[in-house]
Structure 1
Amino acid sequence: MKETNTRLVWIDNVRVIATIAVIMVHVATPAVFTQYNPNSASNTVWWIGNMYDSLCRFCVPVFVMLTGALLLPQTISLSNFLKKRLNRIMLPFLFWSSVYIVFNLALKFRDEGSQVAMHNIGHWLILQLTQGAAPHLWYVYMIIGLYLFIPIIQPWVSIASNKAIIYFLGIWFITLLFHQQKLLSVTSPLDLSYFTGYIGYLILGYFIAERLVISKAILYCAIILFITGVAATLAATYLYTYNQGSFSHTFYEYLTLNVLFAAIGIFIIIKNQQGELRNNAINTVRDFVSRYGYGIYLSHLLVISILSHFKIDYSLITPVIGIPLTTLICLLISAALVYIVNKLPYGKYISG
């Protein structure tokens, strides 16, 4: 029992850190996208945004790795898995998508007023659902696709040797290398599409959680990987932005080697810190954020949009303070909002 509790502690730590990181990415993003000036020698605000964004780019890969760590060890029937997991993810997704659609519709009427073409509303609603009512909801579409594949790969993962899993991850790594065309200008002559995409993060998370024994050498390597990944993201983003004359998103992509290195590093570092913190208040907050993490993820962009209307954003006071402070404010409001929805009748099914 003690081992299970210890395992859940570090899992909760991963979830909370990834949740904070994804909020910080979205708080910093406007500074990175809008504040680069090719005619300026300093670009201080842009650099600060780039620093915070690069530091937290591991967020989405770590969420996927966490999914692999939690679900791939489980043996569960196909019907029970699909019913349990899809309901768990779909109902909150549909609820918060509806909230974003209503919010977007209100903005549409505010901006266009009587110019809104009512006969196009139906088509607009379909696009909102099929393309995502908010930019960050792409993650849910992606993770649902992985969920559909988990019952197929779980039996293999459970009996596969470490060598077999490393073999898969090795080829997946090569596909990332070919995918990152800025680094490798040639394409693979082989069809490696079977090894591509976020499934690699899924299996990687399982491997680190269940198979990897963390020695001091591995921990030091993880620290080096994390620092290298963050530094490469920071520097490469600047270099390509500078050469392009406008912001380049190339090295912010989640399926890049630099982001992969940072994700592996932070995942191992957090797993290594398995004990409870001595501060009970922090543990209580950690458990609360972990409990409502999915709902916080779904709702936080709405909160960021509303906060920005009141000038609470990356520019608050100064970006060095404004980005983490706005992240904290958004986290608190999002958590409170999800908690309130959870307490409504049937709210626990839709809050996330």
Structure 2
Amino acid sequence: MLPKLPAKQPRIVWLDVLRLCAIFMVICIHCSDPFNVSPEARSNPEFNMWGGIYGSFLRPCVPLFVMITGILLLPVKMSFEDFYKKRLLRIAVPFLLWSVLYNLFPWLTGVLGLPQSTMSDVFAYAPIDASQSFSDAIKNIALIPFQFNVYTVPMWYLYMLIGLYLYMPFFSFGVEQATVRQKKIFLMFWSFSLFLPYAYSFFSPNLLGVSAWNTFGTLYYFAGFNGYLLLGNYLVNDVQEWKWCKTIILSLPVFAIGYIATYIGFKTMTANPECSEQEMELFFLYCSPNVALMTLAFFLVIRKVRVKSKRMILMLENITKCGLGIYMIHYFIVGLGYAIADALAIPVFLRIPVTAVIVFVICWVFVSACYKFAPKYSKWIFG
């Protein structure tokens, strides 16, 4: 999911720790889907409560990945052609391969004689009567360049990451020449843009020039994940690392404010069983002030982590190597992990993290074994 550290640079171990946290949090989010997606789950008080508790806590995962990308790749130190060839090719091939496999899976279940309901057991967003026809699978495959679907939900991140990679060499010109003050000004405008989803939802959809014929409002050009790219770069290069005491004293209330806003907002929206998907996701948006606060606090704390164990450092390095592969295959395994946790009668309040641990271990072992025994092919399969 993320670029590997250049071989000539000393390894930044705390970034490996941050990456591990982000990968595990992503898996946890998808393990929480059965608690949040269906109206039946939302109507179950216990499921609804724990789905909201965990789902709100886990929102920093994707912003953390983007911040790491900004730290490692900005400013871009190679030509456009070399950057696109090295970065885009690394994610494009696995992205296409796994998108095809995910879309062929419904057809394969039909070939094996499995019921249509199998799809909803494996993929949380799949309908219980999902089509198992080969023609529908081919149609979905043909649409891969344009959109993801209920079988390829995690691939949304790859579409976004490809966009960031296409944009990054241009963005890099400004980052490389910008002063600290100029970076702060950009981040200030970006911070204001984080409030726009709430302003559009609760005040008016037509703000700052946005209208039926124009979606590019005043702050559009400062909005989105590019802010997290710059935030990661700015914090590492322009902000002196604080001592543990100051980090904890400042980070805890910042995280708490973001978390409380996320949780209360999500619970308020989902209290209505008829809420739309957009309403359900409103307070879970990655580019929102509440999630940005949690992300900032989490980042500042993990930045202080120091790992001295050589075995642990090697393990973290291996997880980083396997990270994209783990991300690509984990959505296949979530249903299995949930079934295992269910068979073990894991209490509801532990079901999400335990399922995530099961899924993570299975994926890591599989991808790591592939790299060990077939490194040449695994590079293209997993990135």
How does the TM-score come out when normalised to structure 1? Answer: 0.87
1:31, 1:46 within 8 Å by CA — same for their partners in 2? yes
Q: CA deviation at 1:70?
A: 0.7
CA–CA distance in structure 2, aligned partners of residues 334 and 303 of structure 1: 8
Q: Report the counterpart of residue 87 of structure 1 in structure 2.
A: 89
Q: Report the counterpart of residue 75 of structure 1 in structure 2.
A: 77
- Shifted more, 67-76 versus 176-185: the winner is 176-185
Provide the secondary structure at the position in 1 that maps to 2:241.
coil
Q: Report the counterpart of residue 160 of structure 1 in structure 2.
A: 178
- CA 1:218/1:329 → structure 2, altered by over 3 Å: closer, same or farther? closer
- Shifted more, 240-249 versus 135-144: the winner is 240-249
Q: Which amino acid is the alignment partner of residue 323 of structure 2?
A: G
CA–CA distance in structure 2, aligned partners of residues 315 and 223 of structure 1: 34
- CA 1:340/1:155 → structure 2, altered by over 3 Å: closer, same or farther? same
- CA 1:264/1:116 → structure 2, altered by over 3 Å: closer, same or farther? closer
Q: CA deviation at 1:95?
A: 2.2
Q: Report the counterpart of residue 224 of structure 2 in structure 1.
A: 197
More helix by share: 1
CA–CA distance in structure 1, aligned partners of residues 20 and 12 of structure 2: 12
1:28, 1:49 within 8 Å by CA — same for their partners in 2? yes
Q: CA deviation at 1:271?
A: 1.2
Q: CA deviation at 1:226?
A: 1.7
Q: CA deviation at 1:116?
A: 5.9
1:24 corresponds, among 17, 21, 28, to 28
Provide the identity percentage: 29
- CA 1:111/1:233 → structure 2, altered by over 3 Å: closer, same or farther? same
Q: Report the counterpart of residue 256 of structure 1 in structure 2.
A: 288
Q: CA deviation at 1:244?
A: 6.0
1:173 corresponds, among 191, 210, 219, to 191
CA–CA distance in structure 2, aligned partners of residues 231 and 315 of structure 1: 32
- Is 1:317 matched with 2:346? yes
1:31, 1:314 within 8 Å by CA — same for their partners in 2? no
1:314, 1:326 within 8 Å by CA — same for their partners in 2? no
- CA 1:323/1:55 → structure 2, altered by over 3 Å: closer, same or farther? same
1:269 corresponds, among 279, 298, 301, to 301
- CA 1:245/1:93 → structure 2, altered by over 3 Å: closer, same or farther? closer
- CA 1:294/1:120 → structure 2, altered by over 3 Å: closer, same or farther? closer
Q: CA deviation at 1:206?
A: 1.0
Q: Which amino acid is the alignment partner of residue 324 of structure 2?
A: Y
Structure 1: which 5+ runs fail to align? Answer: none
Q: Which amino acid is the alignment partner of residue 180 of structure 2?
A: N
1:313, 1:323 within 8 Å by CA — same for their partners in 2? no
CA–CA distance in structure 2, aligned partners of residues 54 and 33 of structure 1: 14
Deviations 1:309-337 (A, max 9, x none): x4546995212222111111100111122
2:194, 2:223 within 8 Å by CA — same for their partners in 1? yes
Provide the secondary structure at the position in 2 that maps to 1:44.
helix
1:276, 1:283 within 8 Å by CA — same for their partners in 2? yes
- CA 1:205/1:117 → structure 2, altered by over 3 Å: closer, same or farther? same
Q: CA deviation at 1:341?
A: 3.3
Q: Report the counterpart of residue 36 of structure 1 in structure 2.
A: 42
CA–CA distance in structure 2, aligned partners of residues 70 and 62 of structure 1: 12
- Is 1:145 matched with 2:163? yes
Q: CA deviation at 1:107?
A: 3.5
Q: Which amino acid is the alignment partner of residue 276 of structure 1?
A: V
2:318, 2:368 within 8 Å by CA — same for their partners in 1? no
Over the aligned positions, Cα root-mean-square deviation in angstroms equals: 2.7
1:341, 1:348 within 8 Å by CA — same for their partners in 2? no
1:27, 1:313 within 8 Å by CA — same for their partners in 2? no
1:157, 1:165 within 8 Å by CA — same for their partners in 2? yes
- CA 1:111/1:243 → structure 2, altered by over 3 Å: closer, same or farther? closer
Q: CA deviation at 1:351?
A: 1.7
1:57, 1:252 within 8 Å by CA — same for their partners in 2? yes
1:177, 1:183 within 8 Å by CA — same for their partners in 2? no
Within 5 Å, give how 1:1-352 maps onto structure 2. Answer: 5=10, 8-34=12-38, 35-37=41-43, 43-107=45-109, 110-111=114-115, 121-128=137-144, 130-132=146-148, 133-181=151-199, 185-186=203-204, 187-189=207-209, 191-216=218-243, 217=246, 220-242=249-271, 248-273=280-305, 275-278=306-309, 280-308=310-338, 310=339, 312=341, 316-342=345-371, 343-344=373-374, 345-352=376-383
Q: Report the counterpart of residue 212 of structure 2 in structure 1.
A: none
1:97, 1:129 within 8 Å by CA — same for their partners in 2? no
CA–CA distance in structure 2, aligned partners of residues 245 and 119 of structure 1: 33
- CA 1:160/1:116 → structure 2, altered by over 3 Å: closer, same or farther? closer
1:178, 1:184 within 8 Å by CA — same for their partners in 2? no
Q: CA deviation at 1:219?
A: 5.3
CA–CA distance in structure 1, aligned partners of residues 200 and 49 of structure 2: 22
How does the TM-score come out when normalised to structure 2? Answer: 0.81
Q: CA deviation at 1:111?
A: 4.5
In the comparison of the two structures, how many residue pairs are matched? 341
Deviations 1:218-257 (A, max 9, x none): 6532332222212221122112222566582221111111
Provide the secondary structure at the position in 2 that maps to 1:25.
helix
Provide the secondary structure at the position in 1 that maps to 2:71.
helix
Q: Report the counterpart of residue 125 of structure 2 in structure 1.
A: none
Q: CA deviation at 1:168?
A: 0.7
CA–CA distance in structure 2, aligned partners of residues 330 and 272 of structure 1: 28
